[in-house]
Amino acid sequence: MSEGLVAVDLGGSTARMALFALDGATMLETARLELGQETGPLQAISQVASVIAGWEQGAQTKIRGVVTGLAAVHDAAGTIVTWPNRPAWNGFAFRDTFAAMVGKPVVLFDDANLAALGEYAFGLDYPVPHLLYTVVGTGIGSAFVWQGHVYAGARGASGELGHMMVDPRGEKCPCGGFGCLQMYASGRAMERIAQASGLPAARASDVFRLASAGNATAQAIVDDAIRMLAIGIANAVRLFDPDMVVVGGGMASRFPERYRLLETLVQEFLGTLPQRNVSVTLSNLGDDAALWGGIAYGLQWFAKNKETEGVRK
């Protein structure tokens, strides 16, 4: 029986999963689950665990562990501290509960950190020492990778680009702050603004389609969202001075023609600063970036464990 690892990307509206062979980092199986806003944590991880159990039986693969990316802030024990897009999950002991349910070791990551690691390891056209990764989906996140290592920060909560204040008199965010970037540039923000404007748009994808069809209101919403995102990215570039910025996530992968405008806007906002010619490109891995990040980290994880076992022997 071969050995494998499961990567899970649990976001604001979906759970995406992949089974990888540890030998060769080959993606063997994939699955996607739609999670409504009312879906509770036990219900969600039960569905994910069911898929994993089916894979282990059907693929004849011994699963060694599960690497999970969460679009939430969690503590060292794996308990969700705050999830602005799913506040009912706050305080849930995610890692221990999930590990008990799947019967496997579970490693927990911020989803943007995991996607950044995947992009760094498998998605770049050429290697760079400093990478800023930004994910645009239901919310907005980011991560900074320096020579293969994700910068986590003092409390493991770095990379919250979506909660960078861009309007101190702006909308109140579920995080408790005001005028956060994700209140203007995320998929959920576009949905909210479109509905307040009277557009027949239940999802952000509807706003993009209306904009492509020539609806002036939808076009303004999309243009404003991308311009605000460019402001946030430009500010992050000023702080981190990366070699490259990669933009991924569901919105960017589904509507690349719109998000390709980011490079021009970011460079414009940087003025004459030394970073003004920074490369801003779209992800080569698309929605799969966090899944590939799971196997990238998993290979490191198991290699370290084998080294430790060798020392002990």
Query: 3-state SS of 180-193?
Result: ECHHHHCHHHHHHH
Both 221 and 272 in a single domain?
Answer: yes
Both 234 and 194 in a single domain?
Answer: yes
What digits encode the pLDDT tens for the residues 280-303? Answer: 999 999 889 999 999 998 887 777
Q: Which pLDDT does position 7 carry in this prediction? A: 96
Residue range 57-71: average pLDDT? 86
* pTM of this structure: 0.86
Q: Which pLDDT does position 287 carry in this prediction? A: 86
User: How far is Cα 312 from Cα 260, in angstroms, rounded to an integer?
Assistant: 51
Whether residue 120 lies inside any domain: the answer is no
Both 278 and 139 in a single domain?
Answer: yes
Taking 80 as the threshold, does the pLDDT of residue 310 lie above it?
A: no
Taking 70 as the threshold, does the pLDDT of residue 59 lie above it?
A: no
Whether residue 116 lies inside any domain: the answer is no
Residue range 52-72: average pLDDT? 87
What digits encode the pLDDT tens for the residues 232-252? Answer: 999 999 999 999 999 998 899
Query: Total domain count for the chain?
Result: 2
Q: Per DSSP, what are the bridge partners of residue 143?
A: 133
User: Which one, of 149, 129, 150, 120, lies nearest residue 292 by Cα?
Assistant: 120
* Orientation angle between helical segments 187-196 and 204-212, nearest 10 degrees: 70
Taking 60 as the threshold, does the pLDDT of residue 164 lie above it?
A: yes
Whether residue 115 lies inside any domain: the answer is no
Residue range 106-116: average pLDDT? 90
Whether residue 118 lies inside any domain: the answer is no
- CATH code of the domain covering residue 80: 3.30.420.40
Taking 50 as the threshold, does the pLDDT of residue 255 lie above it?
A: yes
Structural contact between residues 247 and 259, judged by C-beta atoms closer than 8 angstroms:
yes
Q: What is the residue range of 93's domain? A: 2-110+288-312
Token pair for 6: 């499961």
Taking 80 as the threshold, does the pLDDT of residue 1 lie above it?
A: no
Residue range 15-35: average pLDDT? 90
